Amino acid sequence: MPANAPLAPAQLAFAANGTPYSPQFDDIYHSTDGGLGQARHVFLAGNALPQRWQRQARFTILETGFGLGLNFLATWAAWREDPQRPARLDYLSVEKHPFSAADLAALHQRWPEFAPLSQALLAQWPTLVPGFHRLYLEGGAVCLTLLFGDAQVQLRKLDAQADAIYLDGFAPDKNPDLWCAPVFKALARLSKPGATLATYTVAAAVRTGLNSAGFMPEKRPGFARKREMLVGHFVATHQDAAVAENQNTEFNPSPPGRGEQRAIVIGAGLAGSAISERLAARGWRVSLIERHAEPAQEASGNLAGIVRPMLSLDDNIASRLSRACFLFALNHWRSLQAEGLPLRWFPQGVLHIARDPQHEALQREIIAARQFPADFARWLDAAEASELLHWPVSLGAWLFPQGGHANPPSLCRAYLQRFPERIERLFIREALSLERTDTGWRVLDAQGEFIAQAPVVILASGAGAVRLPPPPDMAPSPLGGEGRGEGPTGWGEGWKTYLPIRRIRGQVSHIPEGKLPALPMALTREGYATPALDGWHCAGASYELEEDPALSTASSAGNLIRLEQMLPGSTQGIDASTLGGRVGLRAVAPDRLPLVGALPDPTARLDPHKARLIDVPRLAGLYGLLGLGSRGLVWHALAAELLAAQIAGDPMPLENDLIDAIDPARFLLRAQRRGQA
């Protein structure tokens, strides 16, 4: 299965005796003597659970083969019933052919004791598209990360450290690709020293493969009529396993000590508010510094923006990242709405109209090639799109049924209201310098007055982040040589090379409700338009290489041109000079991707021929969540989850090639490879 192949869902079928059965693998999903009994005997007891997780702060389980989800439900139930359970349970599971939510609901009726758990799981069950999908249950205490796709591909892209492994694929003779050396070596890389494993099979090839990867397997009495099963534990070092796999583990910053779960976040836009909430959800205490009196006063302050993924024929990095971010954001916002938080999110759909006949043909080709489920994306011809909009359009369009439009300031307020006791608001304070200390960082204002101190600082203030002057003990130069860059540009002119963020002016026009057709959903083409919110349609947005904050008639006229291209005839009688609106200065990186992670040390000297991202020295405790650009509504929620996971030492919610693509150190590495440093 190619790494970017479309996902093929499981087919609901049953063997003659009623046991759930896979036609794709010609095998049953669990023992004919009972799936729940097998889950408890083989996988929980085989890993000495719940005893091994008791009195632990956290416990991580990795499974090969989610299947019916029965092992997960049994584990979740055992965790709930254990008064000595870990505070956080991470459960990671690979599945090449996931079931639809409807099929899982039918299958779970066989175990009515799990009905409440099944309902909670299925309420968040992801759209069946490839990639990682992170779900939070039990108020965030149980974290399920589903890896949809081929195990050999997905395990190679996972960064986690497992305490226990459930090997529960179809039988080795039915599905040999899951019981092979690359999978066993990947499991070794992902195992903590002493991690345990359990499986129902005792096939000689499985025992030999596990042993070669660093596990010590042994036979134990099996479940019901099956005489034997395997248990084992990991004995090789992580370095040995990585060498055996000929692959180094990905960069994962060491988390601060558990007694130092404090962080400072600079900037209270979407990025800063979201990372504050994600850290607070993990029990961290956050000091949020913002120069304005309220959150979302700059680039995150627009009345409305649209939320949709990107699509491409080759399912490239940007498309995969936007899909993951889009789906995580939808799920996260549903959870916040269920808690009664005041976010204004309208999942009425998004229609992306083709810009010309060639683009229309490409839209059709992408949908045919990627085989997305209809609830994620589908193509409509011009007649179907016109009927949906109640307005004639001349070309076809993509429909994103789960997309929509949102009010960004309301998202920021919701994030900050979720854990108010853990988020200290230091507003009307401007962070203008950093000092390193023996225990972390101090943040000072323009007068050198102390604002806050913590082991971790996160820059989430857009392009303003690179204006911070360097700590006194650092001396970056423009190209990494001796001497310190001086002046108002901050960390030397070289910092612009290492974090090359620039401001892009975006003007949104506000059109009174009634002046445009009553849009049933948001539209996009080369611009966008939203249904009326608070009496105004938003149409935009300009993309200009300047920083003038004043409204421009020329920018309003450009927005009307883009609107007319989407809805021919809709702008008649609208005078650009009379339109109000809002100007925001977006922070954009050259590759249009965010910068998320530990910041590089700008004084680092690397071998440009051998260095990789993992080799780049970092500024301990200093992180960035920057460069969200014009897609901040889509990027920010999962970007914050990723950064919080890196800081706290959690399993990663994204594939490691996507993490590398948004690593802030990528520009330093590229610059040095080009010989600029």
Q: What is the 3-state secondary structure (H, E, C) of 465-485?
A: HHHCCCCCCCCCCCCCCCCCC
The tens digit of pLDDT for each residue in 654-666 reads: 999 999 999 999 9
Burial 170-188, CB ≥16 within 10 A → b, else e:
bbbeebeebbbbbbbbbbb
Structure tokens at 239: 């370095």
Model pLDDT, residue 479: 32
Mean pLDDT over 370-396 rounds to 96
Crossing angle for the helix pair 408-418 and 270-281, to the nearest 10 degrees = 20
CA gap 22, 12 in Å, rounded:
7
- Tell me: pLDDT of 89 over 90: yes
Lowest mean pLDDT among 158-167, 470-479, 500-509: 470-479
Domain with CATH 3.30.9.10 in the chain: 351-406+503-588
Name every residue whose Cβ is closer than 8 Å to that of residue 106 and which is 6 or more positions away in sequence.
12
Q: Which CATH number fits domain 13-245: 3.40.1670.10, 3.40.50.150, 1.10.3720.10, 3.40.190.10?
A: 3.40.50.150
Mean pLDDT over 404-428 rounds to 97
- Tell me: pLDDT of 646 over 70: yes
Tell me yes or no: is domain 351-406+503-588 CATH 3.20.20.450: no
Model pLDDT, residue 229: 97
- Tell me: pLDDT of 517 over 50: yes
The H or E element spanning position 674 is: none
SS3 state at 102: helix
Closest CA to 504 of 553, 547, 554: 547
Query: Please, what is the Cα angle at 246 between 243 and 252, to 5 degrees?
Result: 75
Structure tokens at 532: 């009326």
Asked if 528 contacts 522 with a C-beta cutoff of 8 angstroms, the reply is yes
Structure tokens at 260: 């130092």
- Tell me: pLDDT of 675 over 80: no
Closest CA to 93 of 113, 110, 72: 72
Structure tokens at 379: 């193509």
Residue 676 banded pLDDT, cuts 50, 70, 90: low
Q: Which CATH number fits domain 258-298+410-498+591-673: 3.40.640.10, 3.30.70.980, 3.50.50.60, 3.40.50.1980?
A: 3.50.50.60
Closest CA to 552 of 577, 532, 528: 577
- In 247-381, beta strands by DSSP E: 262-266, 285-290, 305-307, 345-346, 350-353, 378-380
DSSP symbol at 646: H
Model pLDDT, residue 248: 40
Model pLDDT, residue 604: 76
CA gap 556, 534 in Å, rounded:
20
Residue 546 banded pLDDT, cuts 50, 70, 90: confident
Cβ atoms within 10 Å, residue 241: 23
The H or E element spanning position 459 is: strand 456-459
Domain with CATH 3.50.50.60 in the chain: 258-298+410-498+591-673
Model pLDDT, residue 547: 85
Mean pLDDT over 594-617 rounds to 86
Model pLDDT, residue 495: 59
Mean pLDDT over 149-155 rounds to 96
The H or E element spanning position 321 is: helix 317-338
Model pLDDT, residue 484: 34
CA gap 411, 333 in Å, rounded:
8
Mean pLDDT over 157-171 rounds to 96
Burial 191-226, CB ≥16 within 10 A → b, else e:
beeebbbbbbbbeeebbebbeebbbebeebebbeeb
Judging by DSSP bridges, how do beta strands 345-346 and 20-22 pair with one another? Answer: unpaired
Higher-pLDDT residue of 572 and 3 is 572
Query: Please, what is the Cα angle at 641 between 637 and 644, to 5 degrees?
Result: 135
What is this structure's pTM?
0.94
Model pLDDT, residue 397: 98
Closest CA to 178 of 202, 199, 152, 157: 152
- Tell me: pLDDT of 298 over 50: yes
Sign of CA dihedral 137, 139, 145, 146: positive
Asked if 394 contacts 568 with a C-beta cutoff of 8 angstroms, the reply is yes
Residue 601 banded pLDDT, cuts 50, 70, 90: confident
CA gap 140, 440 in Å, rounded:
28
CA gap 392, 19 in Å, rounded:
52
What is the total residue count of the chain? 677
Determine the number of helices (DSSP H) and then strands (DSSP E) in the chain: 18, 31
DSSP symbol at 157: T
Mean pLDDT over 600-618 rounds to 83
- The alpha carbon of residue 125 and the mean position of all alpha carbons in its chain are separated, in whole angstroms, by 16
Residue 551 banded pLDDT, cuts 50, 70, 90: very high
SS3 state at 127: coil
First to last CA, the chain: 41
Lowest mean pLDDT among 263-267, 470-474, 511-515: 470-474
Judging by DSSP bridges, how do beta strands 450-454 and 423-427 pair with one another? Answer: unpaired
Judging by DSSP bridges, how do beta strands 440-444 and 58-64 pair with one another? Answer: unpaired
CA gap 62, 532 in Å, rounded:
46
Domain with CATH 3.40.50.150 in the chain: 13-245
Mean pLDDT over 347-363 rounds to 97
What's the half-sphere exposure (Cβ side, CA atoms, 13 Å) at 392?
Answer: 3
Strand partners, 587: 503
Closest CA to 128 of 112, 148, 145: 148
The tens digit of pLDDT for each residue in 244-286 reads: 444 444 434 444 444 579 999 999 999 999 999 999 999 999 9
Model pLDDT, residue 610: 76
Structure tokens at 136: 């939070």
Cβ atoms within 10 Å, residue 480: 20
The tens digit of pLDDT for each residue in 306-325 reads: 999 999 999 999 999 999 99
- Tell me: pLDDT of 482 over 70: no
Mean pLDDT over 526-543 rounds to 95
Residue 490 banded pLDDT, cuts 50, 70, 90: very low
Model pLDDT, residue 240: 52
Asked if 22 contacts 10 with a C-beta cutoff of 8 angstroms, the reply is yes
- Tell me: pLDDT of 14 over 60: yes
Crossing angle for the helix pair 408-418 and 632-648, to the nearest 10 degrees = 20
Name every residue whose Cβ is closer than 8 Å to that of residue 225 and which is 6 or more positions away in sequence.
33
Q: Which amino acid is at 67?
A: G
- Tell me: pLDDT of 573 over 60: yes
CA gap 363, 361 in Å, rounded:
5
Asked if 153 contacts 400 with a C-beta cutoff of 8 angstroms, the reply is no
Q: Where do we find the tokens 């009726």?
A: 109
The tens digit of pLDDT for each residue in 207-222 reads: 999 999 999 999 999 9
In the chain, % of residues over pLDDT 70 = 91
Model pLDDT, residue 125: 98
Model pLDDT, residue 272: 98
Model pLDDT, residue 471: 64
Residue 467 banded pLDDT, cuts 50, 70, 90: confident
Asked if 659 contacts 250 with a C-beta cutoff of 8 angstroms, the reply is yes
Per-chain mean pLDDT for the chain: 91
Model pLDDT, residue 3: 60
Model pLDDT, residue 81: 97
